[in-house]
Amino acid sequence: MCGSAENMNKRKLGTSSIEVSVVGLGCNNFGRRMYDLAPIRAVVHRALDLGVTLFDTAEIYGEGGKSEQFLGQVFGERRKDIVIATKFGYGGGASRSSIMRSVEGSLKRLRTDWIDLYQVHFPDPRTPIEETMRALDELVRQGKVRHIGLSNHSAAQVREAGMIAARQKLTPFVTCQDEYSLLDRGIERDLVPAMREHGMTLLPYRPVASGLLTGKYRRGKPLPKGSRLAGSGHHASDVINNRNWNMVEQIQDVASRSGHSLLEIAFGWLLARPVTASVIAGATTPEQIEQNVRAGATQLSAADVAALDRITQ
C-alpha cells in the first residue's frame, strides 16, 4: 500500500504560503507519450487520491499545449485542491507581450482562473529580466498568478532577479526548477547557494536520471522497448555511459544494504536536501505514481546519505 492522501508530507515553495506534496507529477508525457484522455485521467486521479498536489506542466508540453489541455479536462471540481505549476517562454521569449499572450493561452487550456506557480522556462537573452519581472508582478496583482519561479537559469541570473525584486519592490521568484539527481549534482556549486540567499526552494526534474536510477535498465543489455531512453537517441548517450554505470552499481550496493529500492534511494536522497521542495517525476500508469509516492516516503539514515554523497561527489 502507498498510504493515504492525509499522510503525504508537504513542504513550502520558497518564501510563499503554498505548501506542496513532496512528490509532484511531471506532466510532460501528456500529449507526447500519452494521447488518450482515459489513461491520463487514471494517472492524475490516482495521484490526487494518494495526496499528490503539485502538477507541473508547460505550454510546450504536447503539440499545441496538449498537456495543459488534458489537465484542464481532468481536474474539474478538484482544481481547488491542486497546485498547478506551468512554464512559458520556451522559444517565445519572456518579453511583456509574449508573457501576456502565453498566460491567456495557458489559463484557457487549463480551464482555470489562476496559475499557482508560473515559471520562466528558459532565460531570454533578448529581454531584460526586469521587463519579465514587471509583467509577472502585474499578473500577480491581477490574481491570474499566485507565485513565480525560474527554470534553467544560472546563479548569476537568480541573484540579479533577487536584487531587482528587492530594489523595485516586485514579486520575487520563489522556486528554481533544474535538473538534479544523484548522477547530476552540477547545481550544488553555484545555483543552490544563490537560491539559499534568496529563500528559494528547488523543484528537481529528471530526479531518476531519465530512468537510470529506477533499476529498469541493465548494463550491457538492450534498452527496454517503449522506455524513455530507448526513444531519445542523443540524450540516451549522454546518460548511459561508464561513469554513470559505475555510480549506479555503487548506489545499488547502498540500496541493497539498507533494504531500499534504487528508486527509493534516488527520492530519499533528494528529499534529504533541505533545498528540495518537491520531487517532480513523470508517470504513465497509476502503478508508477504509487511507486513514486512510496519512494517519496523514504527516510534515509545519515550514514546512507553520507555514503551516497561520497559515491556521487
Which residues are marked as active site? 61
**CA within 13 Å, CB half, 145:** 30
The label of the residue with cell 530512468 reads 211
Burial class (CB in 10 A: 0-12, 13-18, 19+), 227: middle
Distance of alpha carbon 18 from alpha carbon 86, whole angstroms: 15
Alpha helices in 4-78 (DSSP H): 37-49, 66-75
Q: Are 181 and 270 in contact (CB under 8 A)?
A: yes
The label of the residue with cell 543489455 reads 221
Beta strand extents in the chain (DSSP E only): 10-12, 19-21, 23-26, 54-56, 83-88, 115-120, 145-151, 173-179, 201-205, 279-282
Burial class (CB in 10 A: 0-12, 13-18, 19+), 265: buried
- DSSP 8-state symbol, 276: B
Sequence-distant (≥ 6) Cβ neighbours of residue 310 within 8 angstroms: none
Provide the CA 17 distance to its chain's centre, in angstroms. 19
Q: Are 35 and 28 in contact (CB under 8 A)?
A: no
